[in-house]
Structure 1
Amino acid sequence: MNREVLSLTNIQTDKVLDAKGLACPMPIVKTKKTMNELEPGQVLEIQATDKGSTADLKAWCDNIGHQYIGTIEKGEIIHHFVRKGGEEIEEIKYPHLIENEELARKLESNEQTIILDVREPSEFAFHHIPGSISIPFGELEQRMDDLNKETEMYVICRTGNRSDLAAQKLTQLGFKKVFNVVPGMSEWKGITEKLID
């Protein structure tokens, strides 16, 4: 998208949602609620500052049946544009789950595990499970060759939302043994490490 040519004044919207300063999963939570107030075909502008919101909103729109129109970045603010789909469909949830406690037990017993952390690099830098692989959700398709499709993989994010979408995507791309970790890093009580001092 050519951000030089597009301007906010060229895009007609029916409603504006202020999600500035909110981190995942709140931009999606607020977007879901606001979309329920719109008629099919109407356009919502979501103003956010969370860098991960672009990948999150695109995946959510694909999953639920809305159209992700595009993004314009102005300074620190990301302006997302979403058109409400006609029929509201049931949001698909990835069926293969593992709870935090069960994953912690696997790690304690030194079972061979691959943990894929799909949060943004800044989230990973401050707090992650030792040995986990950092591939932000928005980079997953470009970096899937870094992963073995036959290996058992545990996908984690902050709350289980991004990892749910990532697990669905990996399964669509041919990965065989994928599990979504719930409720994710927001409630992880096991060992963590950080990349910064």
Structure 2
Amino acid sequence: MIKADFMLDAKGLACPIPIVRTKKKMDELKAGQVLEVQATDKGSTADLQAWAKNTGHKYLETKIEGNILHHFLRKDGDHLLEEISAIPNISLEAFRKKVESREQPCILDVRETEEYEQAHIPGVIHIPLSEVEKRSNELNKDEEIYVICHSGKRSETAAQTMKKQGFKKLINVVPGMRDWRGEIEQ
């Protein structure tokens, strides 16, 4: 069993709050210390794995007790990954206008399957965040791709992963499906 130096209670919180609070707490830790994040959001496993990979921290494991997920992460040493260049954002209003135009933009929805099945924009490509690294070859690296999730945090993480793989025209939709008022499919 992994012994954590600190514990963060993120139970009852949904994306992006567990990641935001994890980042803040990790900033307070010393290199090598372990943080336990307790969460109830099923998507938090993929979110924290991807976040740790993109920030240079070490995702150790997740243990499940009842409906509580116990995520363990170790803060990386002084040689954290170089600062990741920002992915450009598009406002939800500007994105809605693009979707409603004749352009038919390429849209990648990175939410978990359960979220996607509840409601999604017609014609999107669905690849959950946890599968983006392995399945991004299904997309054209030179095409402009709008990446969307619930709030904009997972989509940013997915876009960072894809950028490292050579994708050139990625745009993060902020805030995402949480506030989407356009056409949907179920």
Q: Normalising by the residue count of structure 1, what TM-score does the alignment of the two structures yield?
A: 0.83
8 A Cα contact 2:54 2:161, kept in partner: no
Q: Gaps (5+ residues) in structure 2? A: none
Partner residue, 2:51: 60
Deviation beyond 3 Å, 4+ runs, structure 1: 86-93
Counterpart among 141, 166, 170 of residue 174 in structure 1: 166
Counterpart among 91, 106, 110 of residue 102 in structure 2: 110
Asked whether 1:44 is paired with 2:35, we answer yes
CA displacement 1:95-148 (0-9 Å, x = unmatched):
322221122111222212111000111111222211112111001122223222
Partner residue, 1:150: 142
SS for the counterpart of 1:33 is: helix
8 A Cα contact 2:50 2:130, kept in partner: no
CA 142–62 in structure 1, closer or farther in 2 if over 3 Å, else same: closer
Partner residue, 2:77: 86
- RMSD (Å) for aligned C-alpha atoms: 2.1
Partner residue, 1:35: 26
CA 145–63 in structure 1, closer or farther in 2 if over 3 Å, else same: closer
Partner residue, 2:15: 24
Residue 32 of structure 1 and its aligned partner are, at CA, apart by 2.1
Q: Which amino acid aligns with 2:170?
A: V
Asked whether 1:15 is paired with 2:6, we answer yes
Q: Normalising by the residue count of structure 2, what TM-score does the alignment of the two structures yield?
A: 0.87
SS for the counterpart of 2:133 is: coil
Q: Gaps (5+ residues) in structure 1? A: 1-9
Task: Determine which structure has more spread, i.e. the larger CA radius of gyration.
Answer: 1
Q: Using the aligned pairs only, state the percent identity.
A: 57
SS for the counterpart of 2:54 is: helix
* Cα distance in 2, alignment partners of residues 98 and 172 from structure 1: 20
* Cα distance in 2, alignment partners of residues 142 and 89 from structure 1: 21
8 A Cα contact 2:15 2:150, kept in partner: yes
Report the more deviating stretch, 179-188 or 56-65: 56-65
SS for the counterpart of 1:73 is: strand
Q: Which amino acid aligns with 1:175?
A: F
8 A Cα contact 1:61 1:67, kept in partner: yes
8 A Cα contact 1:94 1:165, kept in partner: no
Q: Would you say how many aligned residue pairs link Structure 1 and Structure 2?
A: 185
CA displacement 1:49-86 (0-9 Å, x = unmatched):
22221221122223333222222233432221111233
* Cα distance in 2, alignment partners of residues 66 and 149 from structure 1: 27
* Cα distance in 1, alignment partners of residues 87 and 134 from structure 2: 24
Partner residue, 1:7: none
Partner residue, 1:3: none
